[in-house]
Structure 1
Amino acid sequence: MSIAPNRDTILCMSLAARPGTFGVRFHNHLYDQLGLDYYYKAMTTDDLPAAVGGIRALGIRGCGVSMPFKEACIPLVDELDASASAIDSINTIVNDNGHLKAYNTDYLAIRQLLDKHAVDPQTSFALRGSGGMAKAVASAMRDAGMSNGLIIARNYETGRALADSCGYPWQAELGDSRPQLLVNVTPIGMSGGDQAQELSFERAAIEAAQQVLDVVALPWQTPLITAALELGKPVITGLEVIAIQALEQFVLYTGVRPTAEQVCLATEYARG
């Protein structure tokens, strides 16, 4: 850091079952570039109420929230922004003098990326997953006017609930469906997990698809993304998702919006 941590340093953090390094490197690199007296640290917890209480009690400015805490944190905060209340899932907590307000910048990131990649609202898609991140992605796609969707989830209760809330049908498996866009919102392909080397969709479906979106960021080149690139398919990667959602968190915490060049430098540094 260009500014050494001191008693006036403003602390930000993240909570995840498996803390990663992207947010730490991204946020701290931007603090460094902009000369802000902030410091960011990734953490985990086995006592979520105490951890969220600590954000309030210790004056921690902001907290990123990752799996599996995105829904469990909701009753622990004081207010939900529209981006979070609409989908009952949060990924960001901002502390204003002890008042904890929650947001969902995952939703904002997906909306931006659908526009950036000019995804046609008429595109048919299948989304695999039914957790908090899946809620954000499915809701963003619904709100972008994408009505021809399908939720794929082995968990009947959460899969049907997500499908019903967004107005899509549900299936336990993709089967013979061949949508134009495949969307993975599960840990399949994530480094360090049991399914790190697995494809989230069968190869025949990837071959038939026109585009692929995978929210897994570490590594960004998952087996699904690798297969799609080998077939010459356009992709939207988890690295793009995590960079935009982290940027929007940064703005909420600091009130400062970095330049595109500064964000690019921070993203490249965070990739390692």
Structure 2
Amino acid sequence: MFHTPTRETLLCMSLAARPGNFGVRFHNHLYEQLGLNFYYKAFAPTDLPAAIAGMRSLGIRGCGVSMPFKEACIALVDEMDASAAAIESINTIVNTDGHLKAYNTDYIAVAQLVDSHKVPRTRFALRGSGGMAKAVACAMRDAGFTDGLIVARNEQAGRALARTCGFEWQPELGAERVPLLVNVTPLGMIGDQAEVLAFDVDAIEAADTAFDVVASPARTPFILHAEKHGKQVITGDQVAAIQALEQFILYTGVTPSEEQYQAAAAFARAI
């Protein structure tokens, strides 16, 4: 049972086209466990500038930013941390007395996961070209991946991301087969594309590792098919948990213990 909010309660929020419950459950669970007077709520804004202005004027302490707002928020903040400025993509905003500073904790999460899963630095194909795709592609580049293919129908955005990271671009994967497949699009996400495979079955079955950033559901059709064929998988809820922990620390200044973090992640996944 969460504590009853008071006028002193600090509010944190997230903005997404399709809000999920992972962040809500993760943050509020930790607030409760650590006795912090915070409350977290997810929103689907219809007017992004007004939402960010509301964050500033209402003293909302922190804001998580999800698809499709990661780039659109750049013009609305006062300062960009190096983690966001380097890849021109925001997923976290911290409000300090009306000053809005932006960060990108997705980058940190991806870097940690490719290392902890000991993913070989082989050729990979990444589907997507938006703000989250920038974070993932840059994190992989900086983790030592040099042979990458950006798969994006948006030629301008796809070529620009490929050029930034020193990778190639194609509108579709086609007949090419690579050891590592990465989905950074809404394909497989709860909604009207929930049943869509991010890559065709032949490509999945030829790969060694499947990495999907979609967190809701954690096991998308892409991940389920990869698991069925014995592939190593990295799931979106793993990304969500690590980046949410980094956000929590930025918002509160408190670092939970490993046990507290794992308990919050488990609670958030049990939806």
Q: Under a length normalisation based on structure 2, what TM-score does the superposition of the two structures give? A: 0.98
Identity %: 68
Instruction: Give the Cα separation in 1 of the matches to 2:193 and 2:6.
Output: 42
- Distance between the aligned counterparts of 2:55 and 2:90, measured in 1? 15
Structure 2 match to 1:240: 238
Describe the superposition over 1:81-139 as per-residue Cα deviations: whole angstroms up to 9, x where unpaired. 11100010000000111110000011110011111111222x11000001110000000
Task: Specify the code of the residue in structure 1 equivalent to 2:212.
Answer: D
Would you say 1:206 and 2:176 are equivalent positions? no
CA distance in 2, matches of 1:239, 1:21: 11
Residues in 2 aligned to 1:2 and 1:44: alpha-carbon distance in whole angstroms: 23
Aligned to 2:188: 189
Shift of 1:46: 1.6
1:269 aligns with 2:244: no
2:2–2:28 Cα contact (<8 Å) kept:
no
The 3-state SS of whatever aligns with 1:268 is helix
Matched, 1:106 2:102: no
SS at match of 1:257: coil
* Structure 1 residues 40-88: Cα deviation after superposition (integer angstroms, max 9, x where no partner): 0011212111111111111110000011110000011000011100010
Q: Does 1:160 find its partner at 2:159?
A: yes
The residue number in structure 1 matching 2:146 is 147
User: Contact between 1:78 and 1:100, CA under 8 Å: does it hold in 2?
Assistant: yes
Q: Say what the alpha-carbon RMSD is for the aligned residues.
A: 0.9
Q: Equivalents in 2 of 1:219, 1:49: separation in Å?
A: 29
Please say if residues 125 and 182 of structure 2, whose CA atoms lie closer than 8 Å, have aligned partners that are also in contact.
yes
> Is the 8 Å Cα contact of residues 90 and 104 (structure 2) preserved in structure 1?
yes
SS in 1 for 2:244: helix
Contact 1:64 1:92 in 2 (8 A): yes
Q: Check whether the contact 1:17–1:66 (CA below 8 A) recurs between aligned residues.
A: yes
Secondary structure at 1:151 match in 2: strand
User: 2:174 and 2:2 mapped to 1: Cα distance?
Assistant: 54
Q: 1:3: Cα distance to partner?
A: 3.1
* Residue 249 of structure 1: aligned partner: 247
Distance 2:189 2:47 in 1: 25
Matched with 2:225 is 227
Structure 1 residue 185, shift from structure 2 partner: 0.4
Q: Distance in 1 between matches of 2:49 and 2:85?
A: 19
In structure 1, how many angstroms separate the alpha carbons of the residues matched to 2:147 and 2:178?
9
CA deviations 1:197-222 (Å, max 9, x no partner) are 11111111111111110001111111
Tell me how far apart the structure 2 counterparts of residues 230 and 18 of structure 1 sit (CA, whole Å): 28
Looking at structure 1, the residues matched to 148 and 193 of structure 2 have their Cα atoms a distance apart, in angstroms, of 25
Q: Mark the runs of 5 or more structure 2 residues left unpaired by the alignment.
A: none
Corresponding residue of 2:63: 63
CA deviation vs aligned residue, 1:220-260 (integer Å, no higher than 9, x gap): 11111001111001110001001111111001000111112
Contact 2:213 2:236 in 1 (8 A): yes
Q: Report what 1:218 is aligned to.
A: 216
Equivalence for 1:258: 256
Higher deviation after alignment, 249-258 or 45-54 = 45-54
Say which is worse superposed, 38-47 or 86-95, in terms of deviation: 38-47
Contact 1:2-1:35 at 8 Å conserved across structures: no
With normalisation by structure 1, the TM-score equals 0.97
Is contact 2:151-2:169 (8 Å) kept?
yes
Task: Give 1:2 shift.
Answer: 4.7
